[in-house]
Chains A and B, each alone.
Chain A
Amino acid sequence: DMKVTQMPRYLIKRMGENVLLECGQDMSHETMYWYRQDPGLGLQLIYISYDVDSNSEGDIPKGYRVSRKKREHFSLILDSAKTNQTSVYFCASSLGGGTEVFFGKGTRLTVV
């Protein structure tokens, strides 16, 4: 079963706390992504990873960092979360190139 799994699905954090969003995929995809979705803005790319320890900034990397130590896992870290990082975060994976991108179900993060 081809799947991208995100944990947790819902998260409430206080401003200044650290946040770890985790993502796994069972398709051996080389490429993985973190996007955030805000109303009216579509999906904005935070980071893309081309393989283990091969990560590249997307359009809005400020305030975020990522870690990919295994091909099947890709983590998004918010050090000292801010209220403007309240959003829905989507992890995704693909074989790269023009292939289909598979999305997880999203994590709704609220920073209060």
Chain B
Amino acid sequence: AQKVTQTQTSISVVEKTTVTMDCVYETRDSSYFLFWYKQTASGEIVFLIRQDSYKKENATVGHYSLNFQKPKSSIGLIITATQIEDSAVYFCARSLDYNQGKLIFGQGTKLSIKP
């Protein structure tokens, strides 16, 4: 199976700082999509940001941005100016097919923001 691996089980940072979460993936495809999702304490899972593999520019949405390094099969999530409400579990995911939306997820990284 083509894996998605998040090696950081948990991270703790002080509020208003920048944090980076790592994600590496296996792939045999030339075109695919990469995603980051956030799971809040209530269990709700929400979409944050997406990277198209054929785009060289790193995606940015609000205070979320990506560090996409295709040769390394790596897609890091960067959160700037962190807030307490950013505390959550963050999942990286990769599409297994380009057209039909099959996703495989990493194990998740728990982020704790301290005041």
Binding site for B on A (CB under 8 A): 31, 33, 35, 40-45, 48, 50, 56, 58-59, 88, 90, 92, 94-103, 105-106
Of the candidates A45, A50, A100, which one forms a contact with B50 in the assembled complex, judged by CB atoms under 8 Å apart?
A100
Shortest CB distance B27–A (Å): 14
Count A/B pairs, Cβ under 8 Å. Answer: 65
Of the candidates B46, B91, B99, B106, which one forms a contact with A97 in the assembled complex, judged by CB atoms under 8 Å apart?
B99
Q: Indicate if the CB atoms of B106 and A42 lie closer than 8 Å.
A: yes
Instruction: Considering the complex, give the chain B residue whose CB is closest to the CB of A50.
Output: B100
Question: How far apart sit A96 and B104, CA to CA, in the bound complex (Å)?
Answer: 14
Question: How far apart sit A92 and B35, CA to CA, in the bound complex (Å)?
Answer: 15
Interface residues on B, range: 20 to 34
Binding site for A on B (CB under 8 A): 1, 6, 33, 35, 37, 42-47, 50, 52, 91, 93, 95, 98-108
Question: How far apart sit A41 and B9, CA to CA, in the bound complex (Å)?
Answer: 11
Give 20 CB contacts A-B under 8 Å. Answer: A43-B93, A48-B100, A48-B102, A56-B102, A58-B102, A59-B104, A88-B43, A96-B99, A97-B33, A97-B98, A97-B99, A97-B101, A98-B95, A98-B98, A98-B101, A100-B47, A101-B37, A103-B37, A103-B45, A103-B46
Q: Indicate if the CB atoms of A97 and B104 lie closer than 8 Å.
A: no
CB-CB under 8 A from B105, the residues of chain A are: 35, 42-44
Question: How far apart sit A14 and B83, CA to CA, in the bound complex (Å)?
Answer: 43
